[in-house]
Amino acid sequence: MPFNERTVEPRLLCRLKVKDAVHGEMLFSSLDEVSSRALTLLLRQLSDVSRHASDIFRGVELQAARVFQRSARIQQRLNNLQTTVYQLNPKKVQIRCYSSEVGFELVV
């Protein structure tokens, strides 16, 4: 089961903290102030999402590079094994079978 590396949650737009809201004062004098505050907070939230997406794609790129390196090493080992198998002559080489259950060696 994979573990969460990061948790991205949306923030509430146009919400003020309790300490920002002074009793008796008007928070916004016009609708333009409300919309400009909402747009600036939305841009800030989009920049955070962009940063998280960049981190996620960087991690995926690193994992893909590791998989590529491992598969290249396995391919090299398979090529070495294939050349060794092609060099073997089954008519000249004796194959010995060892049995762990029986205490002697069988020659085929």
Tell me the per-residue pLDDT of 82-104, one tens digit each, with 9 for 90 and over. 999 888 877 776 667 766 665 55
Question: pTM of whole model > 0.85?
Answer: no
Report d(CA 44, CA 20) in Å as an integer.
19
Give 3-state DSSP helix, strand, coil % of the chain, rounded to 5. Answer: 55, 5, 40
Residue 11: per-residue pLDDT: 72
User: Are residues 63 and 71 in contact, defined by beta-carbon separation less than 8 angstroms?
Assistant: no
Tell me the per-residue pLDDT of 10-25, one tens digit each, with 9 for 90 and over. 777 667 665 655 555 6
Report d(CA 83, CA 61) in Å as an integer.
33
Report d(CA 64, CA 46) in Å as an integer.
27
Domain locations in the chain as residue ranges: 31-107
Residue 102: per-residue pLDDT: 56
Tell me the per-residue pLDDT of 13-60, one tens digit each, with 9 for 90 and over. 667 665 655 555 667 778 888 888 889 888 988 998 899 899 999 999
